[in-house]
């Protein structure tokens, strides 16, 4: 089941990517500037620009994020090879996560599904926090290692 779910997610990501690649710019132009869809596109474009493929992995766990990021990666011309690599990681991790949550959650939360939902959301938030902490630490290290140039006071 996990393998089939991962394959389906991987293929679905690529369908979305190619829709973005072929029709994305036209779709974005037709969106009202203040629409939620336009805002989602702007968010996804920023995430892809800043985080690259990691945005694909993290967006998998954010409601609506997967669609926004996969369409946007196609729209902005993100390289297919990189997209496929990160889409495979995202699809596989999501399929394993979902399969195990379904299996163990079915046993543990069969009488209280709300707790299962809260656990899933907690894991999604946890993954996001770990990714952001790693990014923050790496950025701080790069900034500390970069030479600083002081401007002369005029």
Give exposure, 77-112, as e/b (b: 16+ Cβ within 10 Å): ebeeeebbebbbbbbbbbbebbbebeeebeeebeee
The tens digit of pLDDT for each residue in 29-65 reads 788 888 887 887 787 788 788 888 888 898 888 877 8
- pTM for this model (two decimals): 0.63
User: Which one has a higher pLDDT value, 42 or 18?
Assistant: 18
Gap between the Cα atoms of 50 and 131, Å rounded: 13
Distance CA 81, CA 62 (A): 23
Reported as a single tens digit per residue, the pLDDT across 100-142 is: 878 887 888 888 888 878 888 898 899 889 988 988 998 898 8
**What are 153's two structure tokens?**
């006071």
52: left (phi > 0), else alpha (psi -120 to 50), else beta?
left
DSSP state of 1: -
């Amino acid at each position: 089941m996990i393998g089939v779910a991962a394959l389906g997610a991987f293929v679905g990501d690529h369908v979305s990517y190619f829709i973005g690649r072929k029709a994305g710019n036209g779709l974005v132009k037709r969106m009202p500037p203040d629409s939620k869809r336009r805002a989602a596109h702007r968010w996804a474009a920023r995430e892809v620009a800043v985080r690259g493929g990691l945005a694909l992995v993290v967006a998998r766990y954010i409601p609506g994020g997967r669609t926004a990021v996969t369409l946007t990666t196609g729209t902005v011309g993100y390289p297919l090879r990189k997209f496929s690599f990160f889409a495979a990681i995202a699809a596989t991790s999501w399929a394993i996560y979902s399969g195990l949550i379904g299996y163990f959650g079915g046993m543990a939360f069969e009488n209280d599904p709300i707790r299962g939902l809260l656990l899933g959301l907690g894991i999604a938030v946890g993954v996001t926090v770990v990714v952001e902490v790693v990014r923050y630490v790496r950025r701080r290290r790069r900034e500390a290692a970069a030479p600083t140039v002081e401007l002369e006071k005029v």
